[in-house]
Amino acid sequence: ALRKHAQAIGVEQVNRLYVSELLAGNGEVSGAVGFHQYSGDFYVFRSRSTVLATGSTYYKGIHPGQRDCTADGFGMAYRIGATLCGGEQNDQPANAMPARVDVGPGMNKWMGEGAVFRNAKGERFMERYSPKLKERSGLPQIIAFFCIEARMGRAPILMDATHLGPENMERLYQMLPLPQREFESIGVVKDGKFQKLVEFCPTGPTTRPGVVVDRNYASRTARLFAAGEACSPSAVVTGLAAAATSGARAGASAARCAHDSNGIVGDNGLVGELRERAFGPLARAGGLEPDHVLLELQEAVIPYDVLLLREGSRMERALKRVETIRDQDLPMLGAYDLHYLRLCHEMRNLVLTAELQLKAAIQRTETRNILREDYPFTDNVNWLKWIMVRKEGDRQKWWTEDIPIERYPLAPKREVELAYLWRVPRDLGIVSIQDGRVQWGSEK
Ligand SMILES: Cc1cc2nc3c(=O)[nH]c(=O)nc-3n(C[C@H](O)[C@H](O)[C@H](O)COP(=O)(O)OP(=O)(O)OC[C@H]3O[C@@H](n4cnc5c(N)ncnc54)[C@H](O)[C@@H]3O)c2cc1C
């Protein structure tokens, strides 16, 4: 509908085009460059204002939809020196989906109809952690308690819907026709009933080191605007509603900027360099395949005890692996066609995103909506802050900015307290807090 409307009002559209870089000079953005996925033609867009709306990433995990989420916008914005924030603390830590079946999302619907989660011992563990809401708890709680069960040796986590009756199943077929049919095709659902338990897992660490924007969705770099998940999570929450509203406002702001500005700024002859960079991997057709590098990256960042159940030294180790990939593998990436060329660029942006996420996560020495073993407290004295980063020349500049809670109608108290996500397992005797760290019980 949006596309049709844009066509009707005369918006020129270019499809199947991979945007590889923003065009910028003298601190101002003046457009973007990229190549056509089919013809390989190089495109240069010169503009008075530019809106970045490239979405987020899940490190191309196994779950549906995740391969398409590229992290390109974060990389492009970073390289032109835009200010980014929020890589460590997404507004939505992770979802939970079937681990070995290519279906989802839909957890809310299965749980809504009465499905439950069981651990490897068959226990309905969410009853213990969250007696009132159980499986209908918020995602940060569900994912945290999945991780704690796994850490205690009680994984895999399984969804049990075998008790659902005909009415539940009818509604599920109406709401989730494709996943239900997929379950049928592998024998999980037969004769109108769930016959087997389904393994579930977190969808992996999401992250958004997004562009810092103001209320008009203007970034701190002149003539650059951002919308949706390309923005930092402090400005735009995950979801279609926020993507649509931020897009509408960013578009109007960008139009005002274009109307009020004098003309297109020069690019200081950058186009030639960006063209060379865009096609560089084609000159190394026998180089490393992007999928090989992707697997290495996923092995570094996706295991649950790196970014979902955090601990400083484990994250440092993961960061070293990511930096090795950055320094040794990325320069070797090669592409033998335009498809692989795009994947090479995506890899570059994903590796940078992982680096930014880990560095920010290491800095945030507290537990807020994501578990951190070595800092189990929510620290509203020192950490009501955003962690910011910007590229300055060849170095990364990191700093924090205070969240202006004094302006908020509902402001948290400035105090340090054991995070809710740790208080629950502490009260259940699963962990204890000693010397400011989490100690795990020995129960198996
Ligand atoms: C599996 C899944 C289920 C979800 N379910 C829900 C739900 O039920 N309800 C809900 O509200 N939200 C849901 N979300 C979240 C929602 O989809 C996102 O918040 C929303 O789509 C973000 O919109 P966006 O415009 O910022 O980014 P996107 O919708 O991701 O759009 C970004 C676009 O930019 C393009 N792009 C990226 N890089 C480049 C490049 N280099 N060159 C050219 N084009 C590029 C991409 O191809 C894509 O079309 C779900 C997300 C996922 C992954």
For residue 193, the domain's CATH number is 3.90.700.10
- φ and ψ at 378, to 5 degrees? -85, 120
Q: Which two tokens stand for residue 100?
A: 């070995």
* The one-letter amino acid at 51: V
Whether residue 77 is found in the same domain as residue 142: no
- CA-closest residue to ligand 1 atom 10: 239
Whether residue 243 is found in the same domain as residue 289: yes
- CA-closest residue to ligand 1 atom 19: 239
Percent of the chain with pLDDT over 70: 99
Report the number of distinct structural domains present in the chain: 2
Q: 65 in ligand 1 pocket by Cβ < 6 Å?
A: yes
Domain final residue, candidates 153, 170, 202 = 202
Q: Which residues lie across from 117 on neighbouring strands?
A: 159
Q: 95 in ligand 1 pocket by Cβ < 6 Å?
A: no
For residues 331-337, average pLDDT? 96
Q: Quick one: pLDDT at residue 443?
A: 53
CA–CA gap between residue 230 and residue 349 (Å, rounded) = 13
Q: 70 in ligand 1 pocket by Cβ < 6 Å?
A: yes
Whether residue 85 is found in the same domain as residue 140: no
Domain final residue, candidates 332, 363, 394 = 363
Mean pLDDT of the chain: 94
Residue 108 counted as domain residue: yes
ipTM over 0.95: yes
Whether residue 251 is found in the same domain as residue 337: yes
Taking each helix axis from N to C end, the angle separating 420-427 and 139-151, rounded to the nearest 10 degrees, works out to 50
Whether residue 123 is found in the same domain as residue 218: no
Whether residue 147 is found in the same domain as residue 219: no
Whether residue 138 is found in the same domain as residue 158: yes
CA–CA gap between residue 201 and residue 244 (Å, rounded) = 29
Residue 379 counted as domain residue: no
Residue 421 counted as domain residue: no
Domain final residue, candidates 153, 181, 202 = 202
Residue 134 counted as domain residue: yes
Residue 339 counted as domain residue: yes
Q: Helix, strand, or coil here: 117?
A: strand
CATH of the domain at 40: 3.50.50.60
Reported as a single tens digit per residue, the pLDDT across 283-308 is 998 999 999 999 999 999 999 999 99
Whether residue 83 is found in the same domain as residue 223: yes
User: Do the beta carbons of residue 144 and residue 421 sit within 8 Å?
Assistant: yes
Reported as a single tens digit per residue, the pLDDT across 215-250 is 999 999 999 999 999 999 989 998 899 999 999 999
Q: 239 in ligand 1 pocket by Cβ < 6 Å?
A: yes
Which alpha helices (H) appear in 236-331, and where do they start and end?
A: 240-260, 270-279, 290-301, 304-307, 312-324
Whether residue 260 is found in the same domain as residue 184: no
Whether residue 169 is found in the same domain as residue 311: no
Position 26 confidence tier, pLDDT thresholds 50, 70, 90: confident
Whether residue 196 is found in the same domain as residue 135: yes
Q: 91 in ligand 1 pocket by Cβ < 6 Å?
A: no
291 or 62, higher pLDDT: 291
Residue 377 counted as domain residue: no
Q: Quick one: pLDDT at residue 444?
A: 45
- CA-closest residue to ligand 1 atom 38: 54
CA–CA gap between residue 279 and residue 233 (Å, rounded) = 32
Residue 86 counted as domain residue: yes
Residue 104 belongs to domain spanning: 96-202
User: 240 C-alpha to center of ligand 1: Å?
Assistant: 8
Whether residue 324 is found in the same domain as residue 339: yes
